Amino acid sequence: MAPAPLSRQEIDDRLTRLPGWTLDEDKLTRSYRLASHTAATAMVVHIAQVQDELDHHSDLTLGYNTVVLAVNTHSEGGAVTEKDFELATRVEALAPGHGVR
């Protein structure tokens, strides 16, 4: 069963528990600045592992020392669902171990 799209109010309520995350063009987005390119690359690898575990994949951009995520549920026409917040929460748990500034 596919996850149901969340209303704007539900999204806004959940975003209050995820500092740094925003809704941008119907995607949950977050940018991380890390101490080095190596740290950013390592974070991308760990995010990819979490995405595989959840079978839920985001748009992921790697810069020199930045990682940017844009998350929505493609199977729901690009809507934001609970799966997106589950991924965002798991990524947040990774961030401190990667020297996020």
| pLDDT tens for each residue of 67-87 | 999 999 988 889 999 999 999
Give residue-wise pLDDT tens across range 30-44.
999 999 999 999 999
| Sheet order of strands, 27-33 included | 22-24, 27-33, 66-71, 59-62
**Stated pTM of the model:** 0.92
Q: Which domains does the chain have, with CATH numbers?
A: 8-98 (3.30.1360.20)
Q: Is 75 helix (H, G, I), strand (E, B) or coil?
A: helix
At residue 101, what is the residue type? R
